[in-house]
Every structure is written in structure tokens, then in C-alpha cells.
């Protein structure tokens, strides 16, 4: 028997299940495996012997794949488990590969972001070192768009489309009162400003939309920020500002109203950059000011996903399977952009060593000189990624998603 296991890890997006669908579809099209298993809650499902048979699921539920492609979060559940380094604790690795042998697994597909690709790196290293006959492949996923060696990442285009659309709607909402106002919208993005930059797509020809955009790639100066706002409000009544949650001063201190707890990967857990600036403006200016966090919907609003993003996410899943069947291992599928207009991409794979634990920030020339807006280069990069609205089915006025009952 030749079987495979698919798992998902990291933070949710609206496209990661499209990648799962792509992996499953390619496995079935190529008739590559006897069993297509899904490990629940990432790598921990393998450690806890908690897997399901996805091939059976597809057989028994003809609409499953269609619904899966539009289902937010993770059908297989997630985890925040970081593998111990091999020299510190080999037993976890032995347990995982014993399980692979027991289940006759020759292909392992891990769909996730930066930290998940580290797991792919460690497992593929171990497999090579111990001559294990298994292909360990990564499929990218992150709304943050901060993975290297791929033009962009699955989930980003949909998050960008949601952020741009909601920013446009907020711009409409905040422009109707004849009193000066400042609205600060805080957008996800700890180290990379890609998501916040997407708010620039909301700009209209007559100046509605974000007036200033501040990304973590440029040090944030509160005094220059105050000058920007004071100058702008002389000519525009209602000012809209987009900021990344991760903006920080020149010394690297986050502009934040809250503490700095850290997750298991050592990332600071942020909140409140918007609040902090709201209080700052309220102290310094006589103007109506409010801050808004778009919050969880920017990573789970499947009802407004990008058809381009969902299609590419599925293709990246298929690409990893094709590469595995050709004998590749320790690689992640990537997107190469061939042209902006017409928008054309090509799919391939890259060695995981190049990708894991690396972060792709916004290039400086995608940000204007003053560091308070993005350039045309950024808009040219972003525009194709939000194109198209997927045909989501609604039932009783609500979008239909695949059931997560198996996670309960």
C-alpha cells in the first residue's frame, strides 16, 4: 500500500481549504495513493493517532470538494506545535516516522505558513538523514504574504480583497458627516505591511479612501504622523488612516496600548496600535477621532474571497503533489509572476531551506518616500490578486461551508 497524509497548521485563512482541495484532487486525478489521510490539528494528529480518511469523505459526499474550496479556517484543524530540535529530542521524530511506516505513508503534505515550513524542513532533513522513502512537501499559506521565493501566498489575495472593500465601505461611512473626523483602521501584520498596503486599493478617483498608510517596514514617528494629519485636515474634512498592528518607532518599540505577551514561537502578541494613536490624536487635536480594528474577519471572511486567490491556492496544492510524485521532497510549491497585465503566473517548487524562517517584507520602493503611503508599484502588484468573486452557494441567506463536526 502507498498512502499519504495531509495536514494544516498555523493561523486560519479563507484559502487554506482550497489548497487542501487541490492536494486531494491531484491525488485522486493521478490515482497516486491507496489512502488519502488527513491528520487532525496539524502534526499533533500524527503524534496522537488522530487521522481521518479524506478519500472516503470525497466518495461519500459529492459536494464536499466544492464546499471545501469556499470554507474558511481549517477543515483539518490547526496546531501551534513547534518540533524540538533534533539534537535535543529525537524521540518525537522517531515517533512520527514510525507512524508513517505503520500507516505506509510515502507522501506527507503540510499546508501552512512560516512556522509550518520549519516543520517541513526538520522532517525532510530527518527523512534524508535516515533514508526514509517518503516525500515531505510544503504548501504555502498565510494572509501575511511574507513567505519568500513565491510572488505571493494563498490567503493573501482574499484578505486583501476584504480589507480593500471594507476600507472603501468605511470611507463611505465616515465621510457623511459635515464635521472634521479622523478614523484610524488597524490591520493585521506584525512584521510585514502587505495587508495594510491592500487598503490603498480602496482609493477612489475623487480622493475617498485611505489618506495615509503606515507599514512596519518604515519606522513610525508620532510627531511626523501628527503633522501629516494636521496638514491634511486643512483640505479634507474626513481623514482615513490605515496602520499595521506592527508599526514601531526607530528603536523598534511597538506603537501599542497593550502589553507584549509572546506565543510559542516567541512572537509578540499585539493589540492597540490604533487605540494608542486614537488617544494621541484626541489629546493633540480638537477633532472627532475613532479607531477601528478589522480584526478576525480579514482572515476568515470567506463570503468575500478572491476567485484568483482560491484558484491559485488549489493549484499550489496540486503542484506539491505533482512534484512529490516526480520524486521531489523537502520543497514548497511557489507562484512565479510572468506578467502583470495580462496577469499570468507559473507554478513550481523551491527548496524548503530557502523559505523556512525567512520573512519577505515590503520592498522600500513599494512605499513612498515620506513613508506614509504606498507607490504605484505596490498597486500594480496588488490589483491582480483580488480579481474575481467565487460562486459561493447561499442557503437560507447564509454562505454554505463544509461541516467541521469531525473536529468536535
**Residue 383 engages its own copies in binding (rule: CB under 8 A):** yes
Contact flag: residue 403 with its own copies (CB under 8 A): yes
Which of 134, 382 has the CB closer to its own copies?
382
Name the minimum Å distance from CB 118 to its own copies. 18
Tell me: does residue 262 bind its own copies (CB under 8 A). Answer: no
Q: Does 152 bind its own copies (CB under 8 A)?
A: no
- 71 lines the binding site for its own copies (CB under 8 A): yes
Among positions 51, 68, 74, 255, the unique one binding its own copies when judged by CB under 8 A: 74
- The residues assigned a catalytic role are 144
Residue closer to its own copies (CB basis): 120 or 201: 201
Query: Which residues are paired to 346 by β-bridges?
Result: 336
Query: Mask 83-122, x = binds its own copies (CB under 8 A)?
Result: ----------------------------------------
User: Is 404 a binder of its own copies (CB under 8 A)?
Assistant: yes
Q: Which of 21, 134, 166, 316 binds its own copies (CB under 8 A)?
A: 166
Footprint on residues 190-249 left by its own copies (CB under 8 A): 201-202, 204, 206-208, 236-237
C-alpha cell at 328: 521531489
Please identify, using beta-carbon distances, which residue of 24 and 301 lies nearer to its own copies. 301
For residue 335, report the phi and psi dihedrals to the nearest 5 degrees: -110, 130
SS3 of 310-365: HHHHHHHHHHHHHHHHCCCCCEEEEEEEEECCCCEEEEEEEEHHHCCCCCCCCCHH
In 196-321, where do the E strands start and end?
212-214, 238-244, 288-293
* CA–CA distance, 333 with 129 (Å, rounded to integer): 23
| Measured distance CA(84)–CA(353) in Å, rounded | 17
Q: Is 378 among the residues that bind its own copies (CB under 8 A)?
A: no
Sole binder of its own copies in the list 32, 51, 79, 229 (CB under 8 A)? 79
Taking residue 292's Cβ as centre, other Cβ atoms within 10 Å add up to 18
- The bridge status of strand 135-140 relative to strand 238-244 is unpaired
Q: Can you tell me the distance from the alpha carbon of 47 to that of 161, in angstroms, rounded to the nearest whole number?
A: 37
End-to-end CA distance of the chain: 30
Cβ neighbours of residue 296 closer than 8 Å, sequence gap 6 or more: none
Counting contacts by CB under 8 A, is residue 289 touching its own copies? no
DSSP-assigned letter for residue 230? H
Cα distances from 233 to residues 28, 239, 296, 331, in angstroms, run 59, 7, 30, 50
Of 3, 175, 315, 329, the one binding its own copies (CB under 8 A) is 175
Q: What x/- string results for residues 8 through 47 when contact with its own copies is judged by CB under 8 A? A: ----x----------------------------x--x---
260 sits near its own copies (criterion: CB under 8 A) = no
Whether 147 and 113 have beta carbons less than 8 Å apart is answered as: yes
| Whole-number Å distance between alpha carbons of 149 and 324 | 19
As to burial, measured by CB atoms within 10 angstroms (0-12 exposed, 13-18 middle, 19+ buried), residue 352 is buried
Tell me if 343 contacts its own copies by CB under 8 A: no
CA–CA gap between residue 104 and residue 259 (Å, rounded): 47
The answer to the question of residue 292 lying near its own copies (CB under 8 A) is yes
Taking CB under 8 A as the binding criterion, the range among 60-68, 86-94, 142-150, 290-298 that sits at the site for its own copies is 290-298
Establish if 158 lies at the interface with its own copies (CB under 8 A).
Answer: no
Distance between alpha carbon 368 and the CA centroid of its chain, in Å?
24
Which region, judged by CB under 8 A, interacts with its own copies, from 59-67, 141-149, 367-375, 391-399? 391-399
Binding its own copies by CB under 8 A: which of 196, 199, 306, 333? 306
- Asked if residue 168 binds its own copies (CB under 8 A), the reply is yes
User: Judged by CB under 8 A, how many residues of this single chain contact its own copies?
Assistant: 62
Nearer to its own copies, 87 or 206 (CB): 206
Among 61, 151, 173, 191, binds its own copies (CB under 8 A): 173
**CA distance linking residue 164 with residue 142, whole number of Å:** 17
**Which residues lie near its own copies (CB under 8 A)?**
12, 41, 44, 71-74, 77-80, 161, 164-166, 168-170, 172-178, 201-202, 204, 206-208, 236-237, 292-297, 299-304, 306, 383, 386-389, 394, 396-399, 401, 403-405, 407-408
Amino acid at each position: 500500500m502507498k498512502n499519504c497524509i495531509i495536514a494544516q497548521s498555523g493561523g486560519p485563512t479563507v484559502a487554506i481549504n482550497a489548497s487542501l482541495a487541490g492536494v486531494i484532487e491531484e491525488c485522486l486525478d493521478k490515482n497516486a495513493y491507496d489512502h488519502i489521510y488527513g491528520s487532525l490539528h496539524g502534526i499533533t494528529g500524527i503524534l496522537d493517532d488522530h487521522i481521518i480518511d479524506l478519500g472516503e469523505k470525497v466518495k461519500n459526499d459529492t459536494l464536499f470538494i466544492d464546499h471545501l474550496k469556499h470554507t474558511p479556517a481549517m477543515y483539518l484543524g490547526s496546531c501551534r506545535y513547534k518540533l524540538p530540535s533534533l539534537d535535543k529530542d529525537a524521540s518525537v521524530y522517531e515517533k512520527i516516522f514510525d507512524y508513517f511506516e505503520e500507516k505506509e505513508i510515502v507522501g506527507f503534505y503540510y499546508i501552512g505558513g512560516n512556522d509550518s515550513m520549519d516543520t517541513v524542513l526538520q522532517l525532510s532533513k530527518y527523512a534524508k538523514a535516515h533514508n526514509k522513502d517518503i516525500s515531505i512537501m510544503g504548501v504555502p499559506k498565510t494572509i501575511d504574504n511574507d513567505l519568500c521565493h513565491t510572488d505571493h501566498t494563498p490567503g493573501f489575495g482574499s484578505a486583501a480583497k476584504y480589507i480593500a472593500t471594507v476600507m472603501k465601505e468605511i470611507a463611505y461611512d465616515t465621510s457623511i458627516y459635515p464635521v472634521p473626523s479622523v478614523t484610524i483602521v488597524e490591520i493585521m501584520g506584525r512584521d510585514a505591511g502587505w495587508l495594510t498596503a491592500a487598503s490603498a486599493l480602496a482609493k477612489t478617483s475623487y480622493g475617498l479612501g485611505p489618506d495615509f498608510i503606515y507599514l512596519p517596514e518604515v519606522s513610525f514617528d508620532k510627531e511626523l504622523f501628527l503633522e501629516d494629519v494636521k496638514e491634511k485636515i486643512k483640505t479634507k474634512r474626513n481623514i482615513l488612516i490605515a496602520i499595521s498592528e506592527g508599526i514601531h518607532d526607530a528603536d523598534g518599540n511597538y506603537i501599542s496600548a497593550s502589553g507584549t505577551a509572546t506565543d510559542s514561537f516567541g512572537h509578540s502578541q499585539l493589540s492597540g496600535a490604533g487605540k494608542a494613536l486614537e488617544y494621541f490624536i484626541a489629546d493633540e487635536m480638537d477633532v472627532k477621532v475613532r479607531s477601528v480594528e478589522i480584526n478576525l474577519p480579514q482572515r476568515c471572511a470567506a463570503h468575500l474571497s478572491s476567485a484568483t486567490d482560491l484558484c491559485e491556492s488549489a493549484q499550489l496544492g496540486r503542484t506539491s503533489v505533482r512534484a512529490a510524485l516526480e520524486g521531489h521532497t523537502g520543497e514548497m510549491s511557489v507562484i512565479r509572476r510572468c506578467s502583470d497585465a495580462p496577469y499570468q503566473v507559473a507554478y513550481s517548487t523551491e527548496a524548503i531551506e530557502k523559505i523556512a524562517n525567512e520573512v519577505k517584507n515590503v520592498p522600500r520602493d513599494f512605499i513612498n518616500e515620506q513613508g506614509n503611503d504606498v507607490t504605484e508599484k505596490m498597486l500594480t502588484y496588488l490589483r491582480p490578486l483580488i480579481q474575481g468573486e467565487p460562486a459561493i452557494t447561499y442557503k437560507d441567506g447564509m454562505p454554505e461551508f463544509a461541516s467541521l463536526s469531525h473536529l468536535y
